[in-house]
Amino acid sequence: MSLATLHNLVENLGAATQIARQLRGSEALRSDPDGRLRIADLLTAIAEARSDATSLLLGLAPTPAAHSVPQPVTTATPNISLQALLDEYVSVKKSRLKPDTVRRYRDCLDRYWADHLSQPAENLTPDVFRAHFITLPSPAQANHSLRIIRALFNFYNAAHDKNLLNPVQKVLKLEGAFIVRPRDRLCITSV
């Protein structure tokens, strides 16, 4: 069979009669003494044609290397600290953030991530982040800091067209954030 015929078959794979007409003279199909095609032979021929067409078309496809996804790099602008990331984030998003939100972001990072604020952001690897995250005393504040740091790294990557590795991803993929149940806020009063 030629490539054009095979391509035609693949386009019209659902039309069994057209495939049967194309393959009528081939050895793949046998007919009854009356000249009629048997359904079982027709289905077998269709499956073989589909298999041959698929393997041929896969051979024509570009190699996966041509469509490779760029891997995240672990380097950023030299010596940009977590504190500088926070300052830049706040300065750009200042019109959308309430002052109380900015204060809570700064307090949370100052309280729980003070050792890492002055260090370069690329030093906060997923392993370092995970080791520090699981030692934080308050699960709710740990989750809050996780969301803040994830937002900082996502913002930096988008604003600077960088591909800085987000350290939060390992925690989220392995065990996820802490589960914090909301308090029961129902006040029962006696009548």
SS3 73: strand
pLDDT at 76: 42
CATH code for the domain of 103: 1.10.150
Please list the rounded mean pLDDT of every run of 10 residues in the chain (191 residues). 60 56 56 62 75 77 60 56 93 92 95 91 88 88 91 91 86 75 66 57
Contact status, residue 150 vs residue 167, Cβ threshold 8 Å? no
Q: Which of 35, 66, 97 is the last residue of a domain?
A: 66
Number of domains in the chain: 2
Spatial separation of the C-alpha atoms in residues 92 and 90, rounded to whole Å: 6
Spatial separation of the C-alpha atoms in residues 168 and 146, rounded to whole Å: 7
HSE-CB of 25 using CA atoms within 13 angstroms: 2
Spatial separation of the C-alpha atoms in residues 154 and 100, rounded to whole Å: 22
pLDDT at 107: 95
Range of the domain at 110: 82-174
pLDDT at 161: 85
Give the CA distances from residue 102 to residues 81, 114, 131, 150, 151, in Å, rounded to whole numbers and listed in that order.
Answer: 18, 16, 26, 15, 13
Residues 160 and 91 occupy one common structural domain: yes
For residue 72 the two structure tokens come to: 């995240």
Q: What global pTM score does this model have?
A: 0.54
Residues 87 and 167 occupy one common structural domain: yes
pLDDT at 113: 92
Contact status, residue 9 vs residue 48, Cβ threshold 8 Å? no
pLDDT at 72: 55
Residues 61 and 87 occupy one common structural domain: no
pLDDT at 102: 95
Residue 186 domain-assigned (yes or no): no
Residue 96 domain-assigned (yes or no): yes
pLDDT at 162: 83
